[in-house]
Amino acid sequence: MTSPGDGAPADATAAAADGAAPRGAAPQGTAPQGTAPQGTAPEGAASAAQHDADPRGAAPAGRTADVLLRPLVDADLDALEDMEEALFGAGAWSRASLAEEIAGPGRWYVGAQDRASGELVGYAGLWFDGYDGQVMTVGTRPDAQGRGVGRMLLDALLDHARELGAGDVLLEVRVDNEPALRLYERAGFERFGRRKGYYQPENVDAWTMRRKA
């Protein structure tokens, strides 16, 4: 996805003119514009609430009981900006990119909110191009990592991809990102390719991964 030039990641290559660049996936040219289904946000809201109550896709019991999933809204932008910077540094998406993403066509973003503090401690996004789902990003605030939040968010994306009728769910991940690789592999994603120098200027390769929705 092409960088909008205002802070979106320079390492992304997939193209979607209507939002930020995916960290997770998006083969070039697979997303005809305008194919996104209408009304994904309300569906997403229902799905997130359902997921919260339904342990099928959740992380092991007890690890995420203190977190609920809900749709992201503009009021979350401050927290999202902070987490972006903490998690992705120079590759952080800008506030404008984040705002576009959470409301963008074909996008479905979900946040993990700590029940006690009410703070956002994680977020993830899916892009549905009419055929497949693309994991745009997954992030857990550093102090909330290792509690199953990432898995809970990823499972919510997968649930939603299934609801949309997606065939596969795709993503890309830095070959040296061990926590993310483990998260994705534990969730059933398999490597199917390697993109040389996908992440620039670091010149780090990406694994492309996929699983059936």
| DSSP per-residue string spanning 48-83 | HHHHHH-GGGSPSTTSSTTEEEEE--GGGHHHHHHH
Q: Which stretch binds ligand COA (CB under 6 A): 47-55, 138-146, 162-170, 192-200?
A: 138-146
Q: Does 146 bind ligand COA (CB under 6 A)?
A: yes
Quote the least distance from Cβ 199 to ligand COA, whole Å. Answer: 11
What residues have CB less than 8 Å from 60, skipping those under 6 apart?
A: 148
Considering only residues 41 through 60, tell me which ones interact with ligand COA, judged by CB under 6 A: 59
Site string for ligand COA, 64-93 (x = CB under 6 A): -----------------------x------
Applying CB under 6 A, does 182 fall inside the site for ligand COA?
yes
- Decide whether 37 or 201 has the Cβ nearer to ligand COA: 201
Distance CA 111, CA 36 (A): 21
Our finding on whether 140 is near ligand COA (CB under 6 A) is: yes
Q: Judged by CB under 6 A, does residue 110 bind ligand COA? A: no
SS3 (DSSP) at 121: strand
CB within 8 Å of 92: residues ≥ 6 apart = 7, 9, 81, 84, 85
> DSSP letter string over 22-50?
-SS---TT---TT-SPTTHHHHHHHHHHH
Nearer to ligand COA, 2 or 177 (CB): 177
Stretch that binds ligand COA, among 9-17, 72-80, 132-140, 202-210 (CB under 6 A): 132-140
14 binds ligand COA (CB under 6 A): no
The Cα 78–Cα 144 span in angstroms is 18
